[in-house]
């Protein structure tokens, strides 16, 4: 059996802010790969550059140097519209604070990416309900986010991220606002019910309690990639 296919290939990526003597590197010459079928953690202290790197490899923030190829597509050689379309169809993003819409029901929140793709409302909500079943919250379909716990809101955000069947799923500090047991349950759920051989999951975190679920761990400090190690892969 050969090596798994490369999902994300970042090549000598640098990102800085300011110019001249005021230039500050957020990411400095980072090269990394993520593979399909793996859960990859990017870890490091606050200010180490991990969130900036996450933004670069997900097509949100343009690097000042280097490039990023995601599933064979060179992100930063795409037009603005082509990049937006690629991100909508191929990358699912779970934000730290969930970004759920308070006036929409759970199923409506999950259906949003499909509505943006101009899918009919009935089809979009049916697929959203299927994803709610995957995350075990079909019985919360008609509730608004305020009536859900933090762990339930996180699972709703995951359902919304996977409803379009993206190849790449990116989670930004997914356990930051959750207690230890809930956080571990979320990551264990993602590992065993969301990850598959054609999907790559990348998680930025400083939560050492979830390291055991990683296939590999990339450590960053001062904008540089300092170490790569095998995770516990539970």
pLDDT tens-digit profile of 176-209?
Answer: 878 888 888 888 888 888 898 999 999 999 888 8
C-alpha distances in Å from residue 107, one per residue of 7, 21, 143 = 29, 50, 8
Longest dimension (CA), the chain: 56
Among candidates 195, 165, 202, 200, which has minimal Cα distance to 88?
165
Q: Which residues pair with 202 in a beta bridge?
A: 40, 170
- Antiparallel, parallel or unpaired: β 216-221 and 65-70: unpaired
Mean pLDDT of the chain, nearest integer: 91
pLDDT band for position 1 (cuts 50, 70, 90): very low
* Arithmetic mean of pLDDT, 138-148: 94
pLDDT band for position 232 (cuts 50, 70, 90): low
Angle between helices 106-116 and 150-162 (to 10 degrees): 20
Given a cut of 80, whether residue 227 has pLDDT beyond it is yes
Given a cut of 50, whether residue 148 has pLDDT beyond it is yes
Identify the burial level of 180 via C-beta atoms within 10 angstroms of its C-beta, where 0-12 means exposed, 13-18 middle and 19 or more buried: exposed
Between vectors from CA 205 to CA 46 and to CA 163, what angle results, nearest 5°?
135
Contacts 24+ apart (CB under 8 A), 147-155: 148/106, 150/177, 150/178, 150/182, 151/178, 151/182, 151/185, 151/186, 153/98, 153/100, 154/94, 154/98, 154/178, 154/186, 155/186, 155/189
Identify the burial level of 35 via C-beta atoms within 10 angstroms of its C-beta, where 0-12 means exposed, 13-18 middle and 19 or more buried: middle
Asked whether the CA dihedral 38, 161, 121, 148 is positive or negative, the reply is positive
- DSSP-derived secondary structure letter, 78: S
Fold for the domain defined by 39-62+79-230? Rossmann fold (3.40.50)
Q: What is the pTM of this model?
A: 0.89
- Rg from Cα positions in the chain: 18
């Amino acid at each position: 059996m050969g090596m798994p296919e490369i999902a994300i290939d970042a090549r000598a990526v640098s990102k800085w802010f300011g110019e001249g003597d005021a230039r500050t590197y957020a990411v400095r010459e980072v090269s990394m790969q993520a593979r399909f079928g793996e859960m990859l953690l990017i870890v490091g202290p606050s200010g180490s550059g991990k969130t900036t790197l996450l933004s670069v490899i997900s097509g949100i923030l343009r690097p000042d140097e280097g490039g990023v190829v995601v599933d064979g597509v060179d992100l930063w050689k795409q037009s603005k519209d082509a990049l937006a379309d690629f991100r909508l169809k191929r990358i699912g993003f779970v934000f730290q604070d969930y970004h759920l819409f308070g006036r929409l029901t759970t199923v409506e929140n999950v259906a949003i990416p499909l509505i943006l793709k101009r899918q009919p409302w009935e089809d979009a909500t049916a697929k959203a309900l299927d994803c709610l079943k995957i995350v075990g919250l079909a019985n919360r379909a008609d509730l608004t986010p305020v009536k859900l716990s933090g762990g339930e809101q996180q699972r709703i955000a995951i359902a919304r991220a996977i409803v379009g069947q993206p190849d790449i799923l990116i989670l930004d500090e997914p356990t930051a606002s959750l207690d230890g047991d809930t956080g571990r349950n979320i990551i264990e759920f993602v590992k065993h019910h969301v990850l598959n051989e054609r999907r790559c999951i990348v998680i930025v975190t400083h939560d050492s309690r979830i390291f055991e679920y990683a296939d590999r761990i990339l450590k960053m400090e001062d904008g540089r990639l300092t170490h790569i190690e095998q995770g516990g892969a539970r």
